[in-house]
Structure 1
Amino acid sequence: MLLKLSAAGLSFETASVALLLQGGNGLGVLAAYLALHLVSSALFALAIAQVAPPQYRRPRTALLLYLFFFNFFIPVGGMLCAVVALLVAVLWPKDKPEDHFDTSQAPAFVTARRREGSGFSGNRVRAQLGNVATPVDKRLNALVAIQSTPTRASGASLRSLLGDPADDVRLLAYGILDGKEKKITQRIVDMRNHLKTVSDPETLGILHQQVAELYQELIYQNLVQGDLLNYSYAQMREHAQAALQIDAAQPGLWFMLARMELANRNVADAAEAMQRAHEHGFSRVRLLPYLAELSFLERDYEQVRKLFIEMQYDPSVSSQPQLHRYWRHGRRTIANRPEPFNPASAARPTGGRR
C-alpha cells in the first residue's frame, strides 16, 4: 500500500510539473496543475502517515491535514522536507520525561537508628558480640568489622570480650586492642630514642610535643587503664611541660595540658593552663565548655550559668541541648512541670569534644 500510494503520488506530481514546463500560461493550465498537485499532495499525505512513528499518528485527522497542506503549499520541497523530518523522527526520537527516571522500591521503615557510634552500627554489633549464643563466625565477622573503628567508640565492647568463653573471639579482641596499643607505643619508643640523640632546642621541643601527643592519644583512645593510665598522664605532663619550657607560645599544647589536669581534678593547674592558652591566642569559644567544667569543680555555680549563657548554644561548642538548657535557665522541664534549680544535683558540664 505504501509503495502504491508513493508511486501514484510521484506520478501525479511529475505530471503537474511537466504540465508547467510545457510553457502554457492560461487558466486551464493552472487549474490542471492545481488539480494534479492536490491529488499528489493527498496521496503523499496518506503514504507518509503510514510510516510516521507511533507517537505522531494520533490524532490521525490532524496529521493528514498537516501533511496535505505542507505538501500542497510547498510543491516538491514540501515532500522532500516531510521525508527528511520523518527520517529524523525515526533515527533520533524525542526523549520522554519518564525515560530519564527509574522506578525503585520504597525504603523500609525502621523504628531505630541503624548507625551509632563512629563508623559502625553500634547496637547491632554490640548485640552480636555480647550474645554468646550467636554463632562464632558471625561474632568474628562483627569483630573484623569494628577493628578499623576508633577504640574510643569500640573499646568497651572489645574489653568485654577478653573473658569470652570462645577462644577465637577472645584472642581476636585481645589482638585488636594489643595491636592498636603497640602501634602507638612503638612510635613513643622511637621518639624517645630520638630525643637522646638531639641537642637542638627547637627539635627537642617538637619531639617533646609529639611524645606528649602520643601519650594523649593512648589516653583518648582508652587503650590504657589503671596504673598504665596514671603513668601515661605523668609522661604526658612531663613532655608537655618540657616542650613549653622551650617554647611557651603554644596555645594548643597549653590546652591539651589543661584538659589533662581537668581529667585528674587538678583545678589550680587546669585554671593556669587555660589562662596561658588564652593568653597565647587560643579561642575563648572553644574554652567555654572547659571553663564551665572548671567552675563546676570549684562549685562556682553562678559562673557556670554565666558561661553557658555566653555559649548561646552553638552546636560547635555544646552537643548536649538538655545540659545547656538546664544551666542557662536554671531549671529543667519534666512532663511540662518546671523543677526547681538545684546545682548540687546538676549534671557535671563537660566539653564533650576532643
Structure 2
Amino acid sequence: MIFTLSLLTLILESLSLYVINFDVFVEGSWLYYFITHGLASLCFTCLCWLFLSPSHKKHGITSLSFVLVISFCMPIIGMIGLVFSLVLALNLPKPQKNYEWRSIEQLVLPKSPEAPNNLSYGLGSLRGILSFTDNEDQRLSAVNAIRYLPEKEAIPLFKIALNDLSDDVRLLAYSSLDKIEFKINETIEHLQKKLAQKPTAVTAHQIAQNYWELYYLGLAESPLKDHYLVKAREYLLKACAYEPLPKVNLLLGKVLLAQEDYSQAIDSLEQALKGGLLMKQVAPYLAEAAFMMKNYTKVRQYMMYLPQKQGNSLSELRSFWNE
C-alpha cells in the first residue's frame, strides 16, 4: 500500500509538472494540471495518514485537511516539507526521560556559617520563615543565621523578628541589633579620643560617617535618628574647618538632604564637585535636592549624568526622566 501510494504520487506529480512545462498550452491545460496535481496531493495525503501517530489520527479531518492544503498549495516544496516535519519528526521524536519525582537534600539553617555566601537560604526565604513559619525553633535558627549577613541586609529582618511572639526570638533579635549599635558606638568613642589628641579632617569625617551609618541603618527611632544627623553634621563642619575634602562635602550634602535643608545641601554638593569629585558621583543627590525644591528642569539635567548601563537602578531612573 505504501509503495503503491508513493508511486502514484510520484507519477501524478510528474505529469502535472510536464503539463505546466509544456511548450504549447492547449485549451484546458491548467485543468489537466489541477487534476493531476490534486490527485497527487490526495495520494500523498493518504500516504502521510499511514505514518501519522495515533494521537494525530484522532483528529482525522483536521490532520488530513492540513496535509492536503499544504501539499496542494505548495507543489513539491510542501510535500518535501511535510515529509520531514510531520512524518520523520513525529515518528522519530527526541528521546525524553520521564522523572516522576526527584530526591533533594533538605536544607537546614546553619547555626554558624563560615561566610554569608555559604547560606543556602536567600533573604526572601529568611523573611518568609520569620513571618509565616509556626515552628519556633526554625524562626530562632533564622534569626541566628541572619546575624552572619551584611548589616544593611540583616537589620530589616531583625526588625521583623522584634515582633515575634516568642521571647527567645525577640531577645536574640534585640541582642543582635544591640551588638551592631554597640560596635558602631564603640568605634565612635575611639575616634573621638583620637580626634581630641590630634584633630584632623579625616578623623572627624570618620566619626560623622559612623553617625550617618547609625542613621542610615535605621537602628533608632525618629528622635534619636535626628540626633545622629545633628552629630554627623557637627563633625562634618569640623572636618571642613580643618580641611575641605571632597568626600566631606559629599557626606555633608547627604546629611543636609536628610535634614531637608536642600539649599545648603546643594552648596555642599557643588563644593564636592569643585573639590574633584565626578559629576556622576554627585548628580543623584543634586537631582534629589532639585526635585524636592520642585525644580524639575534641573532634575532632568542631572539625570543625564547617570549611568546608561541596562539593569542599573539609576539607569531606569534616568530613562524615566528622559521620557
Instruction: Show the counterpart of 2:138.
Output: 138
- The reply to whether residue 127 of structure 1 matches residue 111 of structure 2 is no
2:306 corresponds in structure 1 to 311
Q: Counterpart in 1 of 2:214?
A: 218
CA-CA distance at 1:263 after TM superposition = 1.8
Query: Is the partner of 1:207 in helix, strand or coil?
Result: helix
Shift in Å at residue 225 of structure 1? 2.5
Distance 1:192 1:165 in 2: 40
Kindly provide the amino acid, as one letter, of the partner of residue 149 in structure 1.
L
Match of 1:246 in 2: 242
2:305 and 2:205 mapped to 1: Cα distance?
Answer: 32
Answering whether residue 276 of structure 2 is matched by residue 275 of structure 1, we say: no
C-alpha deviation, 1:191, in angstroms: 2.1
Q: Is residue 318 of structure 2 the alignment partner of residue 324 of structure 1?
A: yes
Shift of the 262–184 alpha-carbon distance from structure 1 to 2, 3 Å rule, reads same
SS at match of 1:311: coil
Q: Separation in 1 of the partners of 2:123 and 2:236? A: 35
Which 5+ residue runs of structure 1 have no aligned equivalent? 1-104, 109-117, 330-354
Q: Decide whether the 8 Å contact of 1:150 with 1:221 is kept in 2.
A: no
**Within 5 A, what are the aligned runs for 1:249-268?**
250-268=245-263
Q: What is the root-mean-square deviation in Å for CA atoms of aligned residues?
A: 2.3
Q: Judging changes above 3 Å, is the alpha-carbon distance between structure 1 residues 169 and 258 closer, same or farther for their aligned structure 2 residues?
A: same
- 1:29 aligns to what? none
Residues 227 and 172 of structure 1: CA distance in aligned 2, closer, same or farther (over 3 Å) = same
d(CA) in 2 for partners of 1:310, 1:211:
30
Kindly provide the CA deviation profile for residues 46-72 of structure 1, in whole angstroms up to 9, marking residues without a partner as x.
Answer: xxxxxxxxxxxxxxxxxxxxxxxxxxx
What's the CA shift for 1:158?
Answer: 1.0
User: 1:185: how far off?
Assistant: 0.6
Q: Is the 8 A contact 1:257 1:270 kept in 2?
A: yes
Query: In 2, Cα distance between the equivalents of 1:311 and 1:160?
Result: 34
- Partner SS state of residue 165, structure 2: coil
Q: Matches of 1:223 and 1:312 in 2, distance apart?
A: 31
- Offset from partner CA, 1:207-253 (integer Å, 9 cap, x none): 222211111221222223311111110010001110110111x1011
Q: Tell me the TM-score normalized by structure 1.
A: 0.54
Q: Find the residue that maps to 1:144 and give its secondary structure.
A: helix
User: Structure 1 residues 314 and 281 mapped into 2: Cα distance closer, same or farther (>3 Å)?
Assistant: farther
Distance in 1 between residues matched to 2:242 and 2:205, nearest whole Å: 10
| Cα gap change, 1:266 to 1:172, in 2 (>3 Å) | same
> Aligned pair 1:175/2:150, yes or no?
no
Deviation for aligned residue 1:183: 0.6
1:157-184: CA deviation from partner (whole Å, max 9, x where unpaired): 2112223211110100001100000011
Given that 2:146 and 2:157 are in contact with CA atoms closer than 8 Å, whether structure 1 keeps it comes out as no
Residue of structure 1 in register with 2:230 after alignment: 234
Q: Which moved more, 1:307-316 or 1:180-189?
A: 307-316
Q: Hey, what's the Cα distance between the residues in 2 that align with 1:216 and 1:187?
A: 13
| Bigger CA radius of gyration | 1
How far apart in 1 are the matches of 2:215 and 2:310?
Answer: 25
The runs of 5 or more residues in structure 2 that have no matched partner are 1-98, 103-115
Aligned runs of 1:1-354 on 2, under 5 Å? 121-131=122-132, 133=134, 135-196=135-196, 198=197, 200=198, 203-248=199-244, 250-311=245-306, 313-314=308-309, 319-329=313-323
More helix by share: 2
Offset of residue 321 of structure 1? 4.4
Aligned length: 207
**8 Å CA contact 2:309, 2:315 repeated in 1:** no
TM-score (norm 2): 0.59
